[in-house]
Structure 1
Amino acid sequence: MKGLHWALFSVLLVSGAQLLLRYAMVSLPPVELSESFIRALLQPQKGTLALVLGLAGYLASMGCWYLALHRLPLSKAYALLSLSYILVWAAAIWLPGWHEPFSLRGGIGVLVIIAGVLVIFLPARQR
């Protein structure tokens, strides 16, 4: 069961990282890939901390994912990653200032993802 915990923690971390990176990309000014890119990242700006935390979240998520894959079959672990789509979708709708619209199609997609994860994780019936 520890593999499941690592996988779920990885999902939470990667979801948070996605949200932080989106915030950073909206907040940071556009930069050309040159020396000014490095200078812009080193100067404290509104989205710089979010960018660094988002990248760190991805790194930590990969560490948790590594531990999860040692303890769970890939088919089950990979199915759990789809929960990240649900978390980011819901957060983008409910977090103040994000203004993402709710759509019925998105809600149906979330239900399909949940059903798929349940089908993969429910124990098989004995015949």
Structure 2
Amino acid sequence: MATRQVTGSERYIHADATPIEDLGDGISRQFLGYGPDLMAVRVWFEKGAVGSQHAHHHAQTSYVESGRFLVTIDGEDAELGAGDGFYVKPHEMHGAVCLEAGVLIDMFSPMREDFLPGGEER
């Protein structure tokens, strides 16, 4: 597998000039900034949308900007609302169900290269 150099996003991100990617099934995302060691992403969820259970080698912390979510981490459930947050250790199974339409701000370390065009999970 070829290794590619990821330099990161522009220094300043303007939301109105940054594309929003429709992921389907009621979920969309927008990059807020990234470099090799860190990535921030705004994720919109429609009510009932499901962030399926998954695991990855990245550490993740998320902030609930709005809405309500049932978050499951390593088999433990918590209902979270605006102002709440959660942390996921690398390789922990986690996912979320949107109970009330809202937005999560997800941060990953290192960055999620698989989120970028042509990127793949390492």
Q: What's the TM-score once normalised by structure 1's chain length?
A: 0.20
Structure 2 length as normaliser, TM-score? Answer: 0.21
The higher-RCO structure (CA 8 Å, 6+ apart) is 1
Could you say which structure has the higher helix fraction? 1
**Rg larger in structure:** 1
